[in-house]
Chain A
Amino acid sequence: MTYPEGLFYSKDHEWVKLEGNRARIGITEYAQGALGDVVYAEVPSPGDEFAAGDNFGSVESVKSVSDLYIPVSGKVVEVNGELDGSPELINRDPYGKGWVAVVEMDDPGETSGLMSASDYEAFVGESD
């Protein structure tokens, strides 16, 4: 499995796409595969503030729940309303229409602590 270049990756299997001072966040292909059919996503609300590593939501399949840990600190400015009616977007298009939230970053430098696509690929290969 290869992972899209140009994104940052966290150990908790989330991806980050930089959009200016904002970070769009979702879960990776690996994570959605491990979860199985996503049935529900618990998303934060615009205005919520988090520090990197905080539990900011969860993704549920029929038989399991995975907590989501935010890769960067910031204030939520947008959440993906489509996930309410179509949680399967996370399975079908995890890097595109399956995005979870967008945050206004407190410190853009935090991405230096995240992995590149090739680092994440190696990381995932190890955990298998």
Chain B
Amino acid sequence: MKPVPLIFEISKQGRTGYSLPALDVPEAEDAIPEGMRRGDSPELPEVAEVDAVSHFTNLSNLNHGLDSGFYPLGSCTMKYNPKVDEDVAGLPGFTEGHPYQPESLSQGNLRLMYEMGKFLAEISGMDAVTLQPAAGAHGEFTGMSIIRAYHESRGNKKTKVIVPDSAHGTNPATSAMCGYKVVEVKSDDRGGVDIEKLREVLDDEVAAIMLTNPNTLGLFDENIEKITEMVHEAGGLCYYDGANLNGTMGMARPGDMGFDVVHINLHKTFSTPHGGGGPGSGPVGVKKQLAGFLPVPVVDYDGEKYYFNYDLPDTIGKVRSFYGNFGIAVRAYAYILSNGPDGLKKVCENAVLNANYLMENLKDLYYLPYDRPCKHEFVISGKLQNQQNGVKTMDIAKRLLDFGIHPPTVYFPLIVDEALMIEPTETESKETLDTFIAVMRQIAEEAGHDPELVKSAPHNTPVGRMDEAKAARHPVLKYEGQR
């Protein structure tokens, strides 16, 4: 495949790719002082529309998107992005509205936000929801800020947050952003939180525990009620990281497990597209005693009209401008309507079945640290292959690329050496799963008899392995104009 030059490299002076109507009012040359004006125009490309479109289309062909093939990234829930959601989200009534336009002319938008909040509250077992956070990590920050504000309002002196050793990196990073010290609690040999170790770290300075259930090993923590009870007894709150909601949706709700605050990833569980890294949306749900701390505005209904309510005296304030990634909420709303209550439960059942099917058919060749039924994802390890011929998980991941399969999440969670975290989701057919199993089995075979083939992968991709050390040592972060 031909490399695609940078757009700056195909730029040619004088070319343009736009048209604007002629100015129908006088120019305003003297409107601003000369000293405030830019001297030269910014260095931007000069290309015709045909060249720009060709450039970006060629770039897209270098990508493996979900529509192109299997993407079993653990903890990312790469499920199919329904096309109808794109269609409806593109309606001008949703895309061409201004956040400050009169509420009386935004009733459709407000109603959607109000109902979406209700849907998510029902699904997660919470009492009140905000759609304001723009991503999962943003939701975590919002949720933890609510917890901090709650403790402050009670005069509780809290300095720590407990996080399991299997936690996603955003959890401790978020806690630090809220001014808390992070205390790690070890997992037991069933893969859940070690109750005895938890007891040791719990004291009256613990603000909260941050958990996801099923956890990052894809395992449901059977002690979850005991855990949330213990934390509550010690005066702390329980935060649920919703990244793994696809593993229990319709079967069990975080609100019923004892959680006080949850965040939900619409771009995971609720099928909105990942966009190459965003935009996502991370709504936060809370139990009623925390509802007063939600960011403003909340959307309320007075029986006749929907409106924005800014009157929350204990609010944490705002975590982003306006109301959140509304356009993403539109897609997720359509997805929920499309599935209905039975559909969402079916989503979970199929996601869990698919993951267990893969696990059963790979555990004889790959080391499975926790041999018990998983939920929507599971973790295996490349340990055996490494011990045999030094083939690492990174090599296995790169070899998968040769088969048109995006690798699973690798080297996470940190508690499993050479980890491969696999999440098929419910939208993959048995054929795709069987293909993946066959390919993984072939790679295990190659790791035994032809390790160099795996270690030197990928072979069939547009580019080979990148020199990441060079990129970090001598960062080149923009085009400098030289050839």
A and B touch in their complex, CB below 8 angstroms: yes
Main SS of chain B's interface residues? helix
Interface size on B, residues (CB 8 A): 6
A61 touches B469 (CB 8 A): yes
> How many angstroms between the C-alpha atoms of A60 and B473 in the bound complex?
10
B469 touches A40 (CB 8 A): no
Q: Name the residue in B411, B468, B471, B473 with the highest tally of chain A Cβ atoms < 10 Å from its Cβ.
A: B473
Interface size on A, residues (CB 8 A): 10
Verify if A74 is at the interface (C-beta below 8 Å from B): no
> How many angstroms between the C-alpha atoms of A119 and B63 in the bound complex?
52
Residues of chain A from 73 to 115 with CB closer than 8 A to chain B in the complex: 87-88
Q: How many A-B residue pairs have CB under 8 A?
A: 18
Chain A neighbourhood of B473, CB < 8 A: 37, 39-40, 87-88
Chain A neighbourhood of B44, CB < 8 A: none
> How many angstroms between the C-alpha atoms of A40 and B473 in the bound complex?
6
Verify if B20 is at the interface (C-beta below 8 Å from A): no
Verify if B472 is at the interface (C-beta below 8 Å from A): yes
Verify if A62 is at the interface (C-beta below 8 Å from B): yes
> How many angstroms between the C-alpha atoms of A78 and B472 in the bound complex?
25
> How many angstroms between the C-alpha atoms of A51 and B471 in the bound complex?
35
Closest partner residue, chain A, to B394 (CB atom): A63
Chain A neighbourhood of B472, CB < 8 A: 39-40, 60, 62
> How many angstroms between the C-alpha atoms of A39 and B472 in the bound complex?
6
Q: Name the residue in B411, B468, B472 with the highest tally of chain A Cβ atoms < 10 Å from its Cβ.
A: B472
B420 to chain A, nearest CB (A): 16
Interface digits, A23-67 against B, CB 8 Å rule (1 contact, 0 not)? 000000000000011011000000000000000000011110000
18 residue pairs bridging A and B, Cβ less than 8 Å apart: A36-B469, A37-B469, A37-B473, A39-B469, A39-B472, A39-B473, A40-B472, A40-B473, A60-B472, A61-B469, A62-B468, A62-B469, A62-B471, A62-B472, A63-B411, A63-B468, A87-B473, A88-B473
Query: B residues touching A (Cβ–Cβ < 8 Å)?
Result: 411, 468-469, 471-473
Query: A residues touching B (Cβ–Cβ < 8 Å)?
Result: 36-37, 39-40, 60-63, 87-88
Q: A37-B473, A62-B472 are in contact. List 11 more A-B contacts (CB 8 A).
A: A36-B469, A37-B469, A39-B469, A39-B473, A40-B472, A40-B473, A60-B472, A61-B469, A62-B469, A62-B471, A63-B468
Q: Which 4 A-B pairs have the closest CB atoms?
A: A39-B472, A37-B469, A62-B468, A39-B473
